[in-house]
A and B are shown apart, each in its own frame.
Chain A
Amino acid sequence: MTAVDDPKQNQPTRLPRSRRLTEIAIALPFVGGVCVGIPVLWNTDAEQGAGVATSSAAIYLFSVWFGMIVLAVLLARAFARQDQDA
């Protein structure tokens, strides 16, 4: 889609691809930090059985961890493609 064909010519064009990648790369650790910081909200003083179970906590943490890795893979691939294009 080129600008000429675009009926909404006056709309701001999307950011350049490289810049978007950079911004995602910068945002990613902060997103991960927030997700990993969630356990701070969990009750650590609860009665036995009333708090967050270690098994659930482990599933949550490893899911976040794995999710971040998947995002990092996608990002790394995008960077690699960009390097190839360049």
Chain B
Amino acid sequence: MVSFDILVAVSLAYVAILFAVAFLAERATDGRRAQWLRSPLIYTLSLSVYCTAWTFYGAVGFAARSGLEFVTIYLGPTGVLIGWWLILRRLVRIGRAERITSIADLISSRFGKSAALGGIVTILAVVGTTPYIALQLQSVTLSLSVFAAADPAAAVQASPNSTALWVAVGLAVFTILFGTRTLDSNERHSGVVMAIAVEAVVKLVALLAVGAFVVWGLAGGVGNTLALIDTSPIAQWSVPNSRWIGLTFLSAAAFLCLPRMFHVLVVENSDERHLHTASWAFPLYLLLMSLFVVPIAVVGLDMMPEGANPDLFVLTLPMTQGQNGLAVLAFLGGFSSATSMVIVAAIALSTMVSNHLAAPVWLRSRGEGATVSGDLRNVVLMSRRIAIAVILGLGYLYYRLSGGGAALAAMGLISFAGVAQVLPAMVGGIFWRGATRIGAAAGLTVGFILWAYTMLLPSVGVGTILSAAVVDQGLFGLHWLRPRALFGIDGMDPVIHAVFWSLLFNTLAFVAGSILSTPTPLERMQASQFITAFDQGGAARSWRHGVAEAEDLLLMAQRILGPTDAQRLFRAHAADQGKTGYLPTPSPSFLEALERAMSGSVGSATAHAMIGQMVGGASVTVEDLMAVADETAQIMEYSNRLEAKSEELTNAADQLRDANMKLVQLSHQKDAFLSQISHELRTPMTSIRSFSEILQDGALAPKDRVKYATIISDETQRLTRLLDDLLDLSVLENGQVALDIETGSLAQVLDRATAAADFGGDLEIQRPRQADAILLTTDLERLAQVMINLISNTRKYCVADHPKLKIRARQAGGDTELDFIDNGEGVPAAHRQLIFEKFARISDEAKAGSAGLGLAICREIMTNLGGTIEYLPGQGGAAFRLRLPASQAMAAQ
């Protein structure tokens, strides 16, 4: 019987050996043996982090419960490696070419160096890995408790919780020591990889040893073992088809997407040709790990007492048979499985957390740029250390929450399904040019939510986060939202149910989002970089020779790469450029190399941003250009708008000027009119006053008195007429006149006009012959007033010996034209513009006997009737043409 204390001592010694191996390997990296450290064999063995304690202990338990179903977990990765040409080759090539540091970096980099996507994948990976880490803690705790229970002398029966805590703390320390010792420019950890390779050998040897002991020592040979299998509870093939296919697919997906697998597969890969060897060597490793699982399970079920935990058969079988050495070896194998997984997972996750969560936040909080801020190197390393501690703490928390009671296999599958949500974005990203950031974010988010709802949250225990009501009745009482029977489909295997729905909607959202959104220019460039990874070797983007001083760059690089590496890099490039010393010319190729080196430490997006800050305005990325173009477009639009506004203003100013001029003119007109009217009023007033005074004197002959009184009366009439005319004109001008529309013949109107205008005299009027036939619909009264005016004007101004007025009428196109033509001298051309104005008089006042308002009133009347009046030249005498529209009623409006 191995005492508990001895076991603890052996474990600590084993850990010390691992420390030594890791330490020596890191020392040897620079030496000649580095070649050996980077061999295909070490690469293959490092892939064995896939085989965790889940494999080591859990596979036997899995087999004891459901037979051969457990091989699906190893057939999936076998398929991925056998088919390395399809996906792995491409992933490794892209990972090396783009200096990818993690799966989050891959997704972020592919989709336009999106910081948000990197953050989403990081969170998904941390949440997805937490159950897995809990599983490792649980297995180590369980295996330790087996020894503790078997050792009555164990002074302290450590509680499982405190054991798990101590294991978590110990693993955190080891990981921090070896995983974050340096900030390597290519994120490779030779020490850790070497330690993992050693652990890979230990776990394989341990499992094979236990297997051999069980088959040949306990069962009595291969034939007997097969016979035993056929009589066991798992004698018959009973794997449901959905689980057989679903779990194989899931394990293949997880193999690509698990952060730790991506880390050893892609990030730690130093030579693409290592894949050739790994393509068969790792499947062989998996085969050997699986070979004895069923025999151990069957023999355990046969020999161990009822109720024994099948997850621990690997350990308990040798123990109960008194094989203490074998039992300790088995314990170390399980311990190795657990520790290597936790260490690599913690390194991978902490890299993601520091590069995609901590660094962006830190850079943003220090807006002034990478040069003036503190030592980024320390910030990154410190954030990684904290991340490791937090990740292990989360694992421990999950272990405590889930009660440590779940079967190992079930917990592992939860993790697998969680990280598999990255698969659509990853595969789509490296094969499909049209995949966009929006699509990837949509797919990841949808998949993550569905996975958490259907798998993770129920796994923590019903009643912990999801209440029993939600599990039984569905979210919000909606029956089709039950986390284990979405859309009301009962009877599906819970794992397959969760994987199917989450990946289905994830893929749909990814494809739909990609099709419906437009990629940014940087996304397009990165897409073509990723998809044509084998067609070209060019870098993603080029730095223009810039103003960045080599010294500043060195200052920054030292902070990120460490002084030694940075100086080596700079000196090498200086030497390439034929310079001595540490400061090469910051040529585009050098800047590219520096960015690649830095992206190995802080992620491509951050490195690009930092170099961008350093090189400043001299370097122009497509995004910068697009931003500039956007700005230019905005400025142009603004300036266009300004131009339009200014034109508007000019127009308004012109209009204002016009209005002002009109106002000034009107003001002048008003002044002229006032003076005119004063004058017109004053003349009769003067005579009225003078003759009234004469009359007052008395002593006048009656004849004279009558004469003077007559003059006063005439003048008064003249004044009244003038005022009437003014009033009439004002009403007409304001358009306030009420028209009295009626229909009558032209003859009627002419009769009225000639009768009113005829004060005797010798004017001969020739009327048109068809006057009776022409019917007019208008204000006949007003029309007559116009005619009266024209006739009396002829009477006043026509100087011919036998004055004649010829009136012609014509109807054309509905309009009626009336011409009034006399045989006088006519109006001189110079005055024709004036005659229609107020107070316009050409001849002398006395003869006119009026104030010169007649034609002005005529024009206003005609305008009000919708017609016109114009002077008609070339008729021998004065000629006026009246034009009336067909329907006067309309024009009157």
Which chain A residues have a beta carbon within 8 Å of chain B's beta carbons? 22, 25-26, 28-30, 32-33, 36-37, 39-40, 42, 44, 46, 48-49, 51-55, 57-58, 61-62, 65-66, 68-73, 75-76, 79-80, 83
Q: A39-B237, A42-B237 are in contact. Are A76 and B67 (CB under 8 A)?
A: no
A residues near B273, Cβ cutoff 8 Å: 80, 83
Instruction: Flag whether B405 is at the interface (Cβ < 8 A).
Output: no
Minimum distance in angstroms from B396 CB to a CB of chain A = 36
Indicate if the CB atoms of B85 and A22 lie closer than 8 Å.
Answer: yes
Indicate if the CB atoms of B294 and A58 lie closer than 8 Å.
Answer: yes
Minimum distance in angstroms from B492 CB to a CB of chain A = 16
User: Which chain B residue shows the least CB distance to A65?
Assistant: B287
Q: Mark B70-108, 1 if CB is under 8 A from A, else 0.
A: 010001001111111110000000000000000000000
Minimum distance in angstroms from A76 CB to a CB of chain B = 4
Minimum distance in angstroms from B834 CB to a CB of chain A = 103
Q: A22-B85, A44-B241, A68-B82 are in contact. Are A76 and B229 (CB under 8 A)?
A: no
Q: How far is the CA of A83 from the CA of B273 in the complex (A)?
A: 9
Q: How far is the CA of A5 from the CA of B79 in the complex (A)?
A: 42
Indicate if the CB atoms of A54 and B83 lie closer than 8 Å.
Answer: no
Q: Given A36-B79, A54-B232, A55-B235, 12 more contacts at CB 8 Å? A: A32-B82, A36-B248, A49-B236, A54-B68, A54-B230, A55-B229, A57-B68, A66-B287, A68-B283, A72-B279, A73-B280, A75-B280
Instruction: Flag whether B796 is at the interface (Cβ < 8 A).
Output: no
Instruction: Flag whether B305 is at the interface (Cβ < 8 A).
Output: no
Across the interface, A44 reaches (CB within 8 A) one of B75, B229, B237, B277, namely B237
Q: How far is the CA of A58 from the CA of B800 in the complex (A)?
A: 141
Minimum distance in angstroms from A78 CB to a CB of chain B = 9
B residues near A30, Cβ cutoff 8 Å: 83
Indicate if the CB atoms of A55 and B279 lie closer than 8 Å.
Answer: no
Indicate if the CB atoms of B241 and A54 lie closer than 8 Å.
Answer: no
Chain B interface residue count: which class? 35 or more
B residues near A65, Cβ cutoff 8 Å: 75, 78, 283, 287
Indicate if the CB atoms of B287 and A26 lie closer than 8 Å.
Answer: no
Among A32, A46, A57, chain B packs the most CB atoms within 10 A around the CB of A57
User: Which chain A residue shows the least CB distance to B294?
Assistant: A58
Minimum distance in angstroms from A48 CB to a CB of chain B = 6
Among B71, B82, B229, chain A packs the most CB atoms within 10 A around the CB of B82
**Nearest 3 pairs between A and B by C-beta?**
A29-B83, A72-B280, A25-B85
Q: How many residue pairs between the two chains, A and B, have CB atoms under 8 Å in the bound complex?
A: 107
Q: How far is the CA of A65 from the CA of B78 in the complex (A)?
A: 8
Q: How far is the CA of A73 from the CA of B562 in the complex (A)?
A: 41
Indicate if the CB atoms of A32 and B229 lie closer than 8 Å.
Answer: no
Instruction: Flag whether B239 is at the interface (Cβ < 8 A).
Output: yes
A residues near B78, Cβ cutoff 8 Å: 32, 65, 68
Instruction: Flag whether B760 is at the interface (Cβ < 8 A).
Output: no
B residues near A32, Cβ cutoff 8 Å: 78-79, 82-83
Chain B interface SS verdict (over half): helix
23 contacts between A and B (CB under 8 A): A26-B86, A28-B83, A29-B82, A29-B86, A32-B79, A36-B75, A37-B245, A40-B245, A44-B237, A46-B236, A48-B235, A49-B236, A51-B236, A53-B235, A54-B68, A54-B234, A55-B229, A61-B71, A65-B283, A68-B283, A72-B82, A76-B276, A83-B273
B residues near A42, Cβ cutoff 8 Å: 237
Minimum distance in angstroms from A38 CB to a CB of chain B = 10
Instruction: Flag whether B213 is at the interface (Cβ < 8 A).
Output: no
Q: How far is the CA of A57 from the CA of B63 in the complex (A)?
A: 13
Instruction: Flag whether B303 is at the interface (Cβ < 8 A).
Output: no
User: Which chain A residue shows the least CB distance to B229?
Assistant: A55
Minimum distance in angstroms from B135 CB to a CB of chain A = 25
Q: How far is the CA of A58 from the CA of B78 in the complex (A)?
A: 16
Q: How far is the CA of A62 from the CA of B283 in the complex (A)?
A: 11
Across the interface, B236 reaches (CB within 8 A) one of A28, A54, A61, A76, namely A54
Q: How far is the CA of A62 from the CA of B294 in the complex (A)?
A: 12
Q: How far is the CA of A7 from the CA of B739 in the complex (A)?
A: 117
A residues near B75, Cβ cutoff 8 Å: 36, 61, 65
Indicate if the CB atoms of B68 and A76 lie closer than 8 Å.
Answer: no
Q: How far is the CA of A68 from the CA of B281 in the complex (A)?
A: 11
Q: How far is the CA of A28 from the CA of B85 in the complex (A)?
A: 10
Instruction: Flag whether B226 is at the interface (Cβ < 8 A).
Output: yes
A residues near B80, Cβ cutoff 8 Å: 29
Instruction: Flag whether B244 is at the interface (Cβ < 8 A).
Output: yes
Q: How far is the CA of A46 from the CA of B245 in the complex (A)?
A: 20
Q: How far is the CA of A80 from the CA of B79 in the complex (A)?
A: 21
Minimum distance in angstroms from A63 CB to a CB of chain B = 11
Minimum distance in angstroms from B279 CB to a CB of chain A = 5
Indicate if the CB atoms of B226 and A55 lie closer than 8 Å.
Answer: yes
Among A26, A46, A58, A61, chain B packs the most CB atoms within 10 A around the CB of A58
Q: How far is the CA of A81 from the CA of B44 in the complex (A)?
A: 20
Q: A39-B244, A40-B244, A69-B287 are in contact. Are A52 and B236 (CB under 8 A)?
A: yes
A residues near B723, Cβ cutoff 8 Å: none
A residues near B290, Cβ cutoff 8 Å: 62
Among A26, A62, A71, chain B packs the most CB atoms within 10 A around the CB of A62
Q: How far is the CA of A31 from the CA of B212 in the complex (A)?
A: 31
Q: How far is the CA of A30 from the CA of B79 in the complex (A)?
A: 9
Q: How far is the CA of A66 from the CA of B235 in the complex (A)?
A: 22
Instruction: Flag whether B284 is at the interface (Cβ < 8 A).
Output: yes
Q: A36-B79, A54-B230 are in contact. Are A44 and B238 (CB under 8 A)?
A: yes
Minimum distance in angstroms from B685 CB to a CB of chain A = 120
User: Which chain B residue shows the least CB distance to A77?
Assistant: B276
Across the interface, B287 reaches (CB within 8 A) one of A37, A54, A55, A62, namely A62
User: Which chain A residue shows the least CB distance to B238?
Assistant: A44
Indicate if the CB atoms of B291 and A62 lie closer than 8 Å.
Answer: yes
Q: Mark B220-255, 1 if CB is under 8 A from A, else 0.
A: 000000110110101111111100110010000000
B residues near A58, Cβ cutoff 8 Å: 68, 229, 294
User: Which chain A residue shows the least CB distance to B277?
Assistant: A76
B residues near A28, Cβ cutoff 8 Å: 82-83
Q: Mark B261-292, 1 if CB is under 8 A from A, else 0.
A: 00000000000010011011001100100110
Indicate if the CB atoms of A51 and B86 lie closer than 8 Å.
Answer: no
A residues near B67, Cβ cutoff 8 Å: 54
Across the interface, B276 reaches (CB within 8 A) one of A40, A55, A79, namely A79
Indicate if the CB atoms of B284 and A80 lie closer than 8 Å.
Answer: no
A residues near B240, Cβ cutoff 8 Å: 44
User: Which chain B residue shows the least CB distance to A50?
Assistant: B236
Q: How far is the CA of A33 from the CA of B86 in the complex (A)?
A: 14
Minimum distance in angstroms from A43 CB to a CB of chain B = 8
Minimum distance in angstroms from B60 CB to a CB of chain A = 14
Q: How far is the CA of A62 from the CA of B284 in the complex (A)?
A: 11
Q: How far is the CA of A57 from the CA of B881 in the complex (A)?
A: 120
User: Which chain B residue shows the least CB distance to A25?
Assistant: B85
Minimum distance in angstroms from B25 CB to a CB of chain A = 26
User: Which chain B residue shows the least CB distance to A28?
Assistant: B82
B residues near A80, Cβ cutoff 8 Å: 273, 276
Q: How far is the CA of A70 from the CA of B280 in the complex (A)?
A: 7
Minimum distance in angstroms from A54 CB to a CB of chain B = 5
B residues near A22, Cβ cutoff 8 Å: 85
Q: A22-B85, A25-B85, A66-B287 are in contact. Are A57 and B237 (CB under 8 A)?
A: yes
Indicate if the CB atoms of A61 and B244 lie closer than 8 Å.
Answer: no
Q: A29-B79, A29-B86, A76-B276 are in contact. Are A54 and B294 (CB under 8 A)?
A: yes
Q: How far is the CA of A49 from the CA of B669 in the complex (A)?
A: 124
B residues near A69, Cβ cutoff 8 Å: 280, 283-284, 287
Among A29, A66, A79, chain B packs the most CB atoms within 10 A around the CB of A29
Minimum distance in angstroms from B252 CB to a CB of chain A = 10
Minimum distance in angstroms from A41 CB to a CB of chain B = 9
Q: How far is the CA of A51 from the CA of B79 in the complex (A)?
A: 27
Q: How far is the CA of A71 from the CA of B82 in the complex (A)?
A: 9
Minimum distance in angstroms from A81 CB to a CB of chain B = 11
Indicate if the CB atoms of A76 and B235 lie closer than 8 Å.
Answer: no
Q: How far is the CA of A46 from the CA of B239 in the complex (A)?
A: 12
A residues near B85, Cβ cutoff 8 Å: 22, 25-26
User: Which chain B residue shows the least CB distance to A56?
Assistant: B237
